[in-house]
A and B are shown apart, each in its own frame.
Chain A
Amino acid sequence: MAAPFSKTDDSVVVIIGTGAGGGTLANELAQKGISVVALEAGGRYLPEDYVNDEWASFAQLAWLDTRRSDGSFRLARDFAGLPSWIVKAVGGTTTHWAGASLRFQDHEWKALTNYGRVEGASLLDWPLDAAEMDPWYTLAEAKMGVTRTNGQPGLPGNTNFLVLEKGAKAVGYKEVHTGRMAINSIEYGGRQACQQTGFCFQGCKWGAKWSTAYTEIPLGEETGNLEVRERCHAARIEHDDKGRVTGVVYFDASGVEQRQAARIVCVAGNTIESPRLLLNSASSMFPDGLANSSGQVGRNYMRHVTGSVYSIFERPVRMWRGTTMAGIMQDEARHDPSRGFVGGYELETLSLGLPFMAAFLDPGAWGREFTSAIDGYENMAGMWIVGEDMPQETNRVTVDTAVVDQFGLPTPVVHYDDHPNDVAMRDHAYERGIAIHRAAGAVRSLPTPPYPSTHNIGTNRMSDNPRDGVVNRWGQTHDIPNLFVSDGSQFTTGAAENPTLTIVALAIRQADHIAREMGAGNL
């Protein structure tokens, strides 16, 4: 049972957000006997509630609060009010994610060292490396039941994967398989196996895909040490005159302002909301926002180099059948500057249903060129590009005090310009993706622009140096010892891999650190 904690109980750890970072951290702390109150802006939905209909599910789960984006990237034109496609629900975006669970490559932990200085980019080495992260990755993979780790078999490949596999091997690629997925290929953790149903993005109705909504959260609640408060939107974090945080002010499900006292506060609201909350918590002592003496809060927003290639074949593919992200081609994930860019990218199969395909294939397009492509829907295969984008200080999340949300809080503005390295990488990936589909028999390819971002990272970056980073190697803010960041916003650089596994590994590691420091009386 959930433990109800008093709002004045200042012995609890307050976690804001219950997704990959917050949900994992909440359970890990609860398992160690630490009292946790988790504030979740969204409601609670379980597999029986998920709707396998794209727009209806979007209305149910997506974070649709007021946001604005600008900058030169195409998303600012296509979806100015929807820079990201993330979830407002218990479980956060682990409800929506595709399940790809790849470790960073060793060299990606030290991007500055390995890539060298790149003009216009704020590359930095992580204060961590592959060896230090290895045991945490192993724990994360076991927790999530990642295929092709710990003896878990891979998922069987669907038609979309078979197209990718055939084309990739035909053009000489070697590393092609159905991925490392936090989707059960066989029963695991009391959850059943994937039934190749599609609609992974709409919440897995079998519970085969790992989501904190029905793994970490109920496990934590069962200890009696975790209380999840749903539909509670954090407004600001308060501190005392010593500069230590003391509690979180939030609006409850009725829109009434509440305050929860805290011994420690962990921010895990995803990469747009987390810096927004720190900025909106500005005070006379911290006029630029909490933990922002470096001026880095909100900066270095990254979203991965993305894009898709959909191709039409002579005969049916029916890519929607089965796992949405059904396979991966990794040969281009290496760092090889001879290609004209630093860093690398993965190609992962993807499919959209007809309604979303129409919305995202070429936003704004109309007429016969567009509809003839949609007419080829049944014969389409698709893949998604996931590459490392360059951190840039000017790519940032700020708050607009002139535009407030339903609670009167300043709203986030996301500014993003593509770096020339990003453009070069995307062009390369389009060319290779098209070549793969052509080799499998494609008659027409459609290089599709980026969707609203699901990979939002980097706005509270990690660095050993308090002048160029917001948090230290533990995700602890440099300025305020009892304030932590626990989501993807702490990423120093983005690597080429889908971020969730690394977020979970960092959260497990952070829980271990917090418990140890609490035990030692340091927190």
Chain B
Amino acid sequence: MNRIDRAGMTRRELLARSVAAGGSLLVGASWVTGRSAAWALEVTALKPGTMATLVQMARDIYPHDRIPDDRYAVAVKGYDTADKAPAVEAGIAALDAAAQGQGHPSYLGARWEAERVAVLRGIEKGEFFRTIRAGLVTDLYNQKEIWPLFGYEGESFSHGGYIDRGFNDIAWL
């Protein structure tokens, strides 16, 4: 037995340690824990209308027609806290004002996506938009619930990788 064997890097030893470490075979803390759908009822710090506008804004920033609203809601739910609410209320108020400046009753009142996107283009250099977008790009796409919509399979270690499961299967090529 060589020394690396004693360092415990063989297949058997790694497996044994993984199990002992508490089942990290199934890895990855799902750090977005929000439940779906009920988000509107759970708003505590933000006005419901503000959250509704924020969800629409999120969808307009990263529009995927196959992703339901609740996933966008989960992605922005973190703003529904006492310390963050004032800045978000102010940001959404400014968004509505910008929409009114383009002849709409409010941001939500602009019925076409292109109309709302035109409003967003007007504020995209501002801190509010940049903060929302930067947070969204992780908080939306890191939700494992949406990965199947993109075909993405996530971790494969718990299935033994793809050596037996099509790592080179591209028959159409």
Contacts and interface: CB of A to CB of B under 8 A. Distances in A.
Interface in A172-231: 189-192, 194-199, 205-207, 214-215, 218-219, 222
Contacts of A7: none
Interface stretch (B37-45, B87-95, B97-105, B159-167): B159-167
A195 B28 contact: no
Interface string B9-31: 11100100110110010011101
Contact of B156 (A55, A157, A198, A370): A198
Contacts of B161: 194-198, 206, 322
Contact of B62 (A196, A316, A371): A371
B4 interface: yes
A367 B129 CA distance: 13
A337 B135 CA distance: 44
Nearest to A218: B7
Contacts of B82: none
Contacts of A449: none
B35 interface: no
B112 interface: no
Nearest to A314: B172
B168 A51 contact: no
Contact of B150 (A314, A366, A375): A375
Given A156-B168, A354-B141, A354-B147, A222 B3 contact: yes
B67 to A, nearest CB: 9
Given A189-B2, A320-B152, A51 B63 contact: no
A163 interface: yes
Contacts of A163: 170, 173
Given A163-B170, A367-B117, A441-B173, 10 more contacts: A47-B14, A50-B27, A55-B138, A159-B169, A163-B173, A195-B161, A197-B157, A197-B161, A320-B152, A358-B141
Interface of A: 46-56, 156-159, 161-163, 166, 189-192, 194-199, 205-207, 214-215, 218-219, 222, 314-318, 320-322, 353-355, 357-359, 364, 366-368, 370-371, 374-375, 377-378, 440-441
6 contacts: A189-B4, A192-B11, A197-B157, A206-B157, A320-B153, A353-B152
